[in-house]
Amino acid sequence: MTTNLLRRKKDRIDDLAASGGTSLAADAFKRMSRSPIAIIGAVITVLFVLLAILSPFLAPKSPYIPYDELKNNLRPDSIPGPMPGFILGSDQNGYDFFSRLLVGSQQTLIVGVVATLIGVAVGMLIGGLAGAVGGWVDALLMRFTDILLAIPSLLLAISIAALFSHGTQWTVIIAVAVVSVPIFARLLRGAMLAQRSSDHVLAATALGVRRTTIVFRHMLPNSVGPVIVQATLTLATSIIDAAALSFLGLGDSDWTRAEWGLMLGKSQGLLDVKPELAFYPAIAIIIVALGFTLLGESLREALDPKNRR
Amino acid sequence: MALLEVRDLSVTFKRKGIRPFTAVDRISFDVEPGRTVGLVGESGSGKSVTALAIMGLLPKRGAEAQGSVRFEGTDLLTLSDKQLRDKRGRDLGMVFQDPLSSLNPVIPIGLQITEVLERHRGMSRKQASVEAKDLLGRVGIPDPSRRLSEYPHQLSGGMRQRALIAIALACKPRLLIADEPTTALDVTIQAQILALLQELVRETGTALIMITHDLGVVAGLCDEVNVMYGGRVVERAERHALFAAARHPYTHGLLESIPRLDAPRGEKLLPIKGSVADNIPWEHACAFAPRCPNALDRCREVMPELVPDNGGMLRCHNPVGAMQGVRA
C-alpha cells in the first residue's frame, strides 16, 4: 500500500522531470496518447478519413450503376441479400449496397469538413472583429449571433435548407455551416476579451506596440485553442445535422447520390423488407460522429490547463 | 528641470452604481535623470495605479486621471492615444511584477524583443535580431542566440525577468518604471535582478521609479523614497535619512516589522495593527489614524498637510521622535 503510493509519487516526479521544457502542444499530445478514449477517437477518425479517400478504389462495384443480376431479382416484398460479388446484396434500386455504403463516407467527410471550415472561418471573422474592436461593433455582432443561437440548431438548419427550392450538396453545407457560425464567434470573442485584459497584452501596450500587431500577434494566437477543440466537436454535429437534412429530403435532390443520410431516408418504407438498408448507414453515422466527439472531448481535456499537473 | 514632474496626480475610479473611489490622491514628486525614486507602501496604497497613470495605461472607461504628469516638458495626460504609443517603449519603459504572465506564451522571446526594436528604432528584422542577442547578453542571459528562439515557459523565473528587463530597455528609455519587479522571484534571484537594474540604470543614465512594498529593495536601490498610504504620500526622504530616522509612524511601523538578524533572541516582531480596510477618508482626518500608535485626537479631526521636515517632506501631526507628551 505504502510502497505503491511511493512508486506512484516517484513516477509522477519522473514524468514531471521528463515533461520539463516541452511546449503546450507537445504536452497535450503526450497526455492524449495516454488516454484510451483519445486513442479510440483518433483511430476511428483516421480510419474514416482513409476510407473516404480510398473508397473509390476499395469499392468492388460502381455505386452509380444498377446491376442486372440485382435488378432482375427485385420484388416488392424482397430485395436480394448477399450473393457472390455483391457482399451486402442489392439496395431498393438494384445498386450494389456495399459499394454505396463505402462511397457514402466521401460525401459525409466532404460535407462535414467543408461546413465546419466555413463555420470556423466566418465565426472567427465575426468573433475576432467583435473581440478586437469592442464597443458598438461588438454589441451589434454579438446581438446578431445571439439571434442565431436562440433558434434550435437543427430547426435553423432545416429552415435555411428549405429556402433552396432545388437542393444540391451546397445546400446542406451552407445550412450546417450557418448553424455553427455563432458558436465559433462567441468562443473566439470570449477568448479575445480574456486576452485583452491579460498581463502580456498590457505589457505589449506598455511597449508601444501597434494595435494591429497586438491583435494579430498577441491576442489571436492565444485565443484559437478553444476554437480548434470546438471545431473537432462541431465536425461530429455537422455530420449528424447533414445526415438529418438529407434524411428529410432537404439535401441533394439527386436521389441516386450515395450519401448515408439519404440512404437512410429512402429505406424508411423498406424496414420490413430489408432492415439492413437502414441499419448500416445509421451505424456508420453513429460511429463516425462518436469518433469525432471522443477525439474532440479528449483534445479539450488535454488542452485544459485545469487538468494539467 | 526634472525629467518627470508629477503634480497633483489623482486617479479616481468611477462606475455606475458605486461610490467613486480615489485610489491616488493629489500626489506630486519629481524624478531627475539617473536617479532612482522609490514608491513604497502596502497593497492598495496606490503605487501601481500611479505607475499605470504615468504610462497612460489606465482603463479608458471607469478611470479618470487628473493633475499633470510632465515628461521633458510635455504633459503625458493630455497626449492622444497615438502619441502615447510612440512614447511608450521608446521614452518610457515598464517592467511588470509577474515575468511569466507578462510575456506572450506563444511567441519566442526573440520576437518579443525585435518587435520593439522594429517598432521604435526602425530596424530591419536582421539588425534587430543582432541587437536582441546583444541585449540578452547584457542582462546576463547565458547563450543568448539559443534563447532567442525559445519560448517563455522554457526559461526560468529569473531569466524571464531578465528578458523582460531587456525588452523594456531595448530602446534605451529615459524613464523606467519597475512595478515590484522582484516579488515573483526567490530571494537569491531578487538580489541578482536588483543588482542588474542598478547597474543598467547607472550605465545608461536612466531614471528609475521603483515600486515596491519591500523596504529591503528600497535600502539597496533608491536614492529617494516616497512612502504612500491610502493614495497619498505620507513621507518623503532621502534613503539614509529614512532609515536613520523614520518620522512618520507608518514608515516607522514598516521598519519595525522587518525581521532582523541582529535582534536579541526571542524578541517579537512588531506588526502594524489593523489593515488598510480600517482607513478613514483623508478629507477630515489622517487615514492612518485608526492604526497609528501615536494618534492624537487632532488626527481624527484635521487632515495633516505634507510639509517640509528634516530635509524631506512629512504628513503627520505627531511624528515619531517628537515630544510624546503632547498627547492630549
Question: At B135, is the secondary structure helix, strand, or coil?
Answer: helix
* Bigger pLDDT: A257 vs B308: B308
Q: How far apart are CA B171 and CA B178, in angstroms?
A: 16
Chain A residues near residue B86 by CB distance under 8 angstroms: 208
On the 0-12 / 13-18 / 19+ scale of CB atoms within 10 A, A39 is middle
Q: Tens digits of per-residue pLDDT, B246-282?
A: 889 999 888 888 877 777 777 777 788 887 777 888 8
What percentage of residues in chain B have a pLDDT greater than 70? 98
- Containing B158, the helix (H) or strand (E) segment is helix B157-168
Positions of E strands within A124-226: none
pLDDT the model gives residue A9: 56
What percentage of residues in chain A have a pLDDT greater than 90? 43
Q: Is B105 on the interface with A (CB under 8 A)?
A: yes
pLDDT the model gives residue B175: 94
Task: Check CB contact under 8 Å for A208 and B86.
Answer: yes
Model confidence at B312: pLDDT above 90 = no
* Bigger pLDDT: A71 vs A44: A44
Task: Check CB contact under 8 Å for B119 and A204.
Answer: no
Q: Tens digits of per-residue pLDDT, A265-276?
A: 888 888 888 888
Question: How far apart, in Å, are the Cα atoms of B75 and each of B5, B69, B90, B120, B212?
Answer: 9, 5, 16, 21, 25
Q: How many CB atoms lie within 10 A of CB A139?
A: 11
pLDDT the model gives residue A187: 94
What number of CA atoms fall less than 13 Å from residue B258's CA on the CB side?
16
Of the given ranges (A152-161, B65-74, B84-93, B263-272), which has the lowest mean pLDDT? B263-272
CA distance A148 to chain B (A): 30
Question: What is the mean pLDDT of the segment spanning B230-249?
Answer: 90
Task: Check CB contact under 8 Å for B101 and A221.
Answer: no
**Contact, B11 vs B58, CB < 8 A?**
yes
Q: Tens digits of per-residue pLDDT, B166-191?
A: 999 888 899 999 998 888 788 888 88
pLDDT the model gives residue B328: 33
Minimum-distance CB partner of B89 among A200, A208, A221: A208
As a whole number, the mean pLDDT across chain A is 86
Task: Check CB contact under 8 Å for A200 and B86.
Answer: no
The contacts of residue A39 (CB under 8 Å, 6+ apart) are A32, A33
Q: How far apart are CA A256 and CA A254, in angstroms?
A: 6
**A267-275 CB contacts, 8 Å cutoff, 24+ apart:** A267/A91, A267/A92, A270/A79, A270/A92, A273/A77, A273/A78, A273/A79, A274/A78, A274/A79, A274/A81, A274/A89, A274/A92
Model confidence at A24: pLDDT above 50 = yes
Q: Tens digits of per-residue pLDDT, A205-231?
A: 999 999 899 999 999 988 988 898 899
Minimum-distance CB partner of B88 among A207, A221, A222: A207
Q: Tens digits of per-residue pLDDT, A96-132?
A: 899 999 999 998 889 999 999 999 999 999 999 999 9
**Cα angle vertex B71, ends B69, B76, to 5°?**
50
pLDDT the model gives residue A23: 59
Q: Is B142 on the interface with A (CB under 8 A)?
A: no
Model confidence at A294: pLDDT above 90 = yes
pLDDT the model gives residue A197: 87
* Bigger pLDDT: B277 vs B49: B49
**Contact, B169 vs B176, CB < 8 A?**
yes
ipTM value: 0.85
State the Cα torsion A221-A225-A231-A233 to the nearest 10°: 180
**Contact, B289 vs B273, CB < 8 A?**
no
The model's confidence at residue A18, banded by pLDDT at 50, 70 and 90, is: very low
Q: How far apart are CA A183 and CA A238, in angstroms?
A: 13
* Interface mutation target, options B76, B85, B106, chain A, most CBs of A under 10 Å: B106
* In chain B, residues 206-225 whose CB comes closer than 8 Å to chain A: none
Task: Give the residue from chain A lying closest to B118, CA to CA.
Answer: A209
Question: At B313, is the secondary structure helix, strand, or coil?
Answer: strand
Minimum-distance CB partner of A209 among B105, B115, B168: B115
Chain A / chain B CB contacts < 8 angstroms: 72
Task: Check CB contact under 8 Å for A208 and B55.
Answer: no
Residue B64 C-alpha cell reads as 479618470
- Containing B237, the helix (H) or strand (E) segment is strand B232-238
Question: What is the mean pLDDT of the segment spanning B283-292?
Answer: 88
Sheet arrangement for strand B224-229: B92-95, B175-179, B207-212, B36-40, B224-229, B232-238, B312-314, B307-309
Task: Check CB contact under 8 Å for A24 and B104.
Answer: no
Residue type, B251: T
**Contact, B170 vs B116, CB < 8 A?**
yes
CA distance A39 to chain B (A): 27
Q: Tens digits of per-residue pLDDT, B188-235?
A: 888 888 888 888 888 888 999 999 988 888 888 899 999 999 899 999
The model's confidence at residue A11, banded by pLDDT at 50, 70 and 90, is: low
pLDDT the model gives residue A256: 79
